[in-house]
Amino acid sequence: MIMTIQSIREDIEVVKKNFPWIEANFKGIGENLENVNDSIGTVEEKITLELDSILETVDVKVFENKVLINEVKDNFVEDKQQILADIKESSQKIFCPS
């Protein structure tokens, strides 16, 4: 039996008329897929926003840590110079009293 495109179309129409619930279910599935896609898009946007926020927070923390490290280095140099000056002064008083 050779089926033509026209006969297949007619068979589809017969099925649609005899089983309307099939078409309704497929429409429902299509609507559900659209809802799922919308939900996925919303979740994707939320994740993107959260990741951006986290990355910004990390960048700020990295910058703050660099600033703190530079402050510690500067304080170390100043304290080292002050200690060396104090040792030099004390050594001169001990070994070269006036």
pLDDT at site 3: 72
CA atoms of 67 and 61, how far apart (whole Å): 10
- pLDDT by 10s per residue, the chain, length 98: 577 888 888 888 887 777 777 767 777 777 888 888 899 999 999 999 999 999 999 999 999 999 999 999 999 999 999 999 999 988 888 888 76
pLDDT at site 27: 72
pLDDT at site 19: 75
CA atoms of 90 and 53, how far apart (whole Å): 55
Report the SS3 class of residue 36: helix
CA atoms of 11 and 94, how far apart (whole Å): 115
**Cα separation of the two ends of the chain:** 127
pLDDT at site 1: 58
The answer to whether 22 touches 16, Cβ cutoff 8 Å, is: yes
- Map out the domains of the chain as residue ranges: 19-95
CA atoms of 36 and 34, how far apart (whole Å): 5
pLDDT at site 6: 83
CA atoms of 88 and 58, how far apart (whole Å): 44
